[in-house]
Structure 1
Amino acid sequence: MAGIELIISSICNATICNAVYDNPLTDGHVSQKQTETLLLANEINGKHLKIGTYNNFPLSWIERDENGTVQAYGVAFKIIDILQQKFNFTYEIVIPHRNFEIGGSKPEDSLIGLTNTSKVDMIAAFIPRLVRFRKLVTFSRDLDEGVWMMMLRRPKESAAGSGLLAPFNNFVWYVTLASVLCYGPCICFLTHVRSKLIKNEERPLRLSPSFWFVYSAFIKQSTNLAPEANTTRVLFATWWLFIILLSAFYTANLTAFLTLSKFTLDIETPEDLYKKNYRWVSVEGGSVQYTVKTQDEDLYYLNKMVTSGRAEFRTLSPDQEYLPIVKAGAVLVKEMISLEHLMYGDYLTKTREGVEEAKRCTYVVAPKPFMKKPRAFVYPVGSKLKSLFDPTLAYILQSGIIDYLEHKDLPSTTICPLDLQSKDRQLTNSHLMMTYYIMCVGLASGLAVFVVEILVKRYINIKIKPIDKVKLKKFKRSKRSPRYDDSGPPPYESLFVKPKFKDSEKRWKMINGREYYVYEDARGGTRLVPVRTPSAFLYR
């Protein structure tokens, strides 16, 4: 029950209930601060205040009725209504000439100018608490933290690039290419070093066969090399293991990329605006313009874009007038709550117009904020309203009323998120563009090699002797001839050349109860051909 009583008391204190100073728990003692609060409340009772505000939907905005009377709305004036009901005052709305927070040629052009010259009693708007403002006006307690975000047109394809290159970043591709180019020479060098240190029958591998082995294994093709030394076999197995793992990672990530519909934006931070020289726009006379043009602020480096014309500040009303600028390729920098209402309104408009669902989310918000600043109401320096209103504002903030008012007209889900969670994903030419590039480059390379061969054979007079057909000869085993090792793989040409032998060369032999023909092949080795068994039909 204690929690419920605390909630009720917080709402009560923030709205219509007066302070209970006759509580028996206080023994009738009233502090000096409470006494001053009562005096200020009596002083403001029935008083008429001048309250300044400006158009900053949905936090505050202004409308004129048929009689020309100015009416103010928004979250700020919901709070003013609570204060008015509790302290019993009346007010009139004062509007700056140019709808600025700060700046202009005259004090009447901005809210800070009106407050600094005491032409208004307070500002009912969410003004960021900036360092320079503190010297000119007095801020109330913080009402919320303003988050400025960047809104841009949703790209048609991810900034990660083509689908075939998406699984790995550029650094991984560079390392893979370096591995393919370097591992062949490493095999050639190591086999030459081994042949110098260990004298045996295996010859060192030349550079050309080593390179083609690495390339063929990279594209998962076989090879006609038959290494016998354990060192060479380990080198081959290491490269095959590397290719197996690389292919597994690539295949899995490529499947995930083509399945998910998440986009990677080209602009995510303010640094991206500067490095990639993107055109961007923000509200004229607002805190963004002040922050960018102030040397003491972290975003001062963006002022170079303002001087070069890549960034500009405009005053447009309503906010929907910014949409054509964003659609043309610019980035809009504004408060997050304003961008959410802007995107949601655009989504509802396209829904009413019958636009298909996949095309309703035209805009997207960058994942990282442009800047963050606490925001509050503003009073003239030395105003007594701060000490009177701040306790009530604290109750309003703690009860969650401000957060509720800011988001009550928005859906509970994220509006047009970066990941649209599409159920279907069709491949487009942009995903397969790299395959077309590879095909074109391969054809161009083959044509270039063909032209070089013609030039070499016809004009440089290099005679290349034609290779005769392989003539199988009978090699007699001698003491000098190396013994053929059956543990290694058979030579590549033996897979396509049928063994030819005469009847005089055959020798019949019984082994383990089975009959075999024994003959010597082209390399001097002994072969056994089964006789009178079903497997003998394979050798006919």
Structure 2
Amino acid sequence: MAGIELIISSICNATYCEVPYNDSFTGADTVSVKEVNYQALAKEINGKNLKVTTYNNTPLSWIENHNGTLVGKGVAFIVMEILRKRFNFTYDVIEPRKNFELGGRVPEDSVIGLLNSTKVDMAAAFLPTLRPYQEQVAFSIILDEGTWVMMLKRPKESAAGSGLLAPFNELVWYLVLAAVVTFGPCITFFTRVRTKLIDDDEGVLPLNPSFWFVYSAFLKQGTNLSPEANTTRVLFVTWWLFMILLSAFYTANLTAFLTLSKFTLAIEDPKDLYDKNYRWVTSAGSSVEHVVKNEGDELYYLSSMISNNHARFLSVRNDKDFLDYVKKGAVLVKEQTVVDHLMFYDYSSKKDVEESDKCTYVLAPRAFMKKQRAFAFPIGSTLKDLFDPVLTKIFQAGILEYLKRSDLPSTKICPLDLRSKDRKLRNSDLIMTYLVMASGSGIAMAVFGGEVFLTRYVTTKMNKGGKAKKKKVKMSNKKSRIYDDSRPPPYDSLFSRNPKFNVENTRTKMVNGREYYIFETGNGDKKLIPVRAPSSFLYRSDK
């Protein structure tokens, strides 16, 4: 029962009851001067009418007009009702001309201006305890820590990049491209140096076949190059191992990205607003404006964005008006509680929309700034000393945190990762394949045009003056040497379908229990070609 009595006593002390004193332990003569002064302040305000100001900052505070009478609403005025019942006073709501915390041409334009000019008795609003504010008003005890966040329109694609490029970052892709371009010349260079230092039958591997070896291995294709020197073989094996490991990492990361990748945003912290030159908006006369324009603050670097109209401070009466700017690509900077209510309002208003399309907006993962907040009084006001003990009990009981989120669901509203159960490939994931196809076709056409130009114009001019006959001789020699004996003939030549190859000398022979064709080349060498399975004859077009 002692616990229940303690809870009831705490609630009673914060609302209706007087400050309790235990007569059995405390005599009337032991009451301190501070307690006597506190009782005197409570009697002084009893039955008095106060002037209270606030500004529209839903759901923390806002003003409604009821038949010409201004009525304060929100969490701040729930606290005001507790104070009113505790000290038996009444209050009238005074609205500033502009919805400013600080600023304007006259004191009546802002909440701080009304307090500083003593035209109101207190401000029932969660005002950040900024240094420019502290110079003009007196703050109550700290009621909470406000977090300002950045809300933006949810992008359709992750900022990690396109599907085919996502497994590696830009630096890795640049290094891979550099390796493909430089390894071919490295092979040619090492073979050239080797031939000068070591006299053997292996000559210099030219640049053209070296480059095509690197390119074909990059695409996991074979090669007809057969290096004999150990140095060249090690170079070839090194490149193959490099490509095997690279393709393994790429395939694994691409699979993970397409199935388990986390959705990321282009804007994660205030520095990204500056680096990527994003447009962002916030309330005019708010704490964000004063923080950005204050030279001593850490966010002062954002003030340079005001001149190029990428940072705008808008004067709006309803925070829902900011949604139109966010839909057009701007980033909204507001308090966490305000933004949560805006997102929940937008989510709830879409009744006939699929669940996956209801979350139009998303929050950046890191906060814009954090500031402590409190009620405010004119400097020297006795209300601060009177209300602070009660506000302390309200804060310690956790009532404010409960009230701020009482209208919101317990789960997070529209999180960054919606955790959809399936991950279907979209056209944006395959956009790189289309670019590769278009680029490859364009390069092939450019190479074809270059070949036509070199063959018809450049070579023709170089062969003028009696070189045409020599060219014909060379062409005839090339035609006689068009077949390379280092490679086996195609299978269709074995069935007498390819007239370019002489198959009269071919015969079969059993070697280690397997049947082979013995093909005699033009220089007398013999090559073994494994005989295909009998079922392969079913696929011959002439049968």
Q: What TM-score do you get using the length of structure 2 for normalisation?
A: 0.84
- Kept in 1, the 8 Å contact 2:518–2:528? The answer is yes
Overall identity of the aligned pairs, in %: 57
CA drift of 1:91 comes to 1.6
Query: Whole-Å Cα distance in 1 between the matches of residues 26 and 60 of structure 2?
Result: 39
Counterpart in the other structure of 2:52: 51
1:40 aligns with 2:51: no
Counterpart in the other structure of 2:425: 427
Query: Whole-Å Cα distance in 2 between the matches of residues 279 and 328 of structure 1?
Result: 10
| Closer, same or farther: CA 108–181 of 1 in aligned 2, 3 Å | same
Q: Which amino acid aligns with 1:288?
A: V
1:465 aligns with 2:466: no
- Kept in 2, the 8 Å contact 1:21–1:30? The answer is no
CA drift of 1:217 comes to 1.0
- Kept in 1, the 8 Å contact 2:138–2:376? The answer is yes
Report the RMSD for the aligned CA atoms in angstroms: 3.6
- Kept in 1, the 8 Å contact 2:488–2:529? The answer is no
Query: Whole-Å Cα distance in 1 between the matches of residues 503 and 330 of structure 2?
Result: 81
| Closer, same or farther: CA 392–191 of 1 in aligned 2, 3 Å | farther
After TM superposition, the structure 1 stretch with the greater mean CA deviation from structure 2, 22-31 or 192-201, is 22-31
| Closer, same or farther: CA 512–431 of 1 in aligned 2, 3 Å | closer
1:188 aligns with 2:188: yes
Counterpart in the other structure of 2:80: 80
Counterpart in the other structure of 1:380: 378
- Kept in 2, the 8 Å contact 1:472–1:522? The answer is no
CA drift of 1:405 comes to 0.5
- Kept in 2, the 8 Å contact 1:191–1:204? The answer is yes
1:356 aligns with 2:357: no
1:213 aligns with 2:224: no
1:332 aligns with 2:340: no
1:107 aligns with 2:107: yes
User: Can you list the C-alpha shifts for 1:154-200, whole angstroms capped at 9, x where unaligned?
Assistant: 22223333222222221111111111111212222223333334444
Q: Which amino acid aligns with 1:140?
A: S
SS, match of residue 333 in structure 1: strand
Mapping 1:17-32, distance limit 5 Å:
17-22=17-22, 24=24, 29-32=30-33
- Kept in 1, the 8 Å contact 2:158–2:264? The answer is yes
User: Can you list the C-alpha shifts for 1:249-269, whole angstroms capped at 9, x where unaligned?
Assistant: 222222233335754323333
- Kept in 2, the 8 Å contact 1:216–1:223? The answer is yes
Aligned residues: 515
After TM superposition, the structure 1 stretch with the greater mean CA deviation from structure 2, 94-103 or 289-298, is 289-298
SS, match of residue 44 in structure 2: helix
SS, match of residue 238 in structure 1: helix
Mapping 1:430-441, distance limit 5 Å:
430-441=428-439
Q: Which amino acid aligns with 2:341?
A: H
- Kept in 1, the 8 Å contact 2:191–2:205? The answer is yes
Query: Whole-Å Cα distance in 2 between the matches of residues 528 and 437 of structure 1?
Result: 44
Q: Gapped runs of 5+ residues in structure 1?
A: 474-489
Q: Gapped runs of 5+ residues in structure 2?
A: 463-470, 495-500, 538-543
- Kept in 1, the 8 Å contact 2:99–2:317? The answer is no
SS, match of residue 71 in structure 2: strand
User: Can you list the C-alpha shifts for 1:273-327, whole angstroms capped at 9, x where unaligned?
Assistant: 3333333221122112222222222223333332333332222232222222221
- Kept in 2, the 8 Å contact 1:260–1:421? The answer is no
1:371 aligns with 2:372: no
- Kept in 1, the 8 Å contact 2:148–2:368? The answer is yes
Q: Which amino acid aligns with 2:34?
A: K
| Closer, same or farther: CA 395–198 of 1 in aligned 2, 3 Å | farther
Query: Whole-Å Cα distance in 2 between the matches of residues 268 and 244 of structure 1?
Result: 36
Mapping 1:163-202, distance limit 5 Å:
163-202=163-202
Mapping 1:381-420, distance limit 5 Å:
381-420=379-418
Query: Whole-Å Cα distance in 2 between the matches of residues 219 and 55 of structure 1?
Result: 62
SS, match of residue 431 in structure 1: helix
Mapping 1:247-258, distance limit 5 Å:
247-258=247-258
Q: Which amino acid aligns with 1:376?
A: A
Mapping 1:117-266, distance limit 5 Å:
117-260=117-260, 262-266=262-266
Query: Whole-Å Cα distance in 2 between the matches of residues 173 and 374 of structure 1?
Result: 45
CA drift of 1:110 comes to 0.8
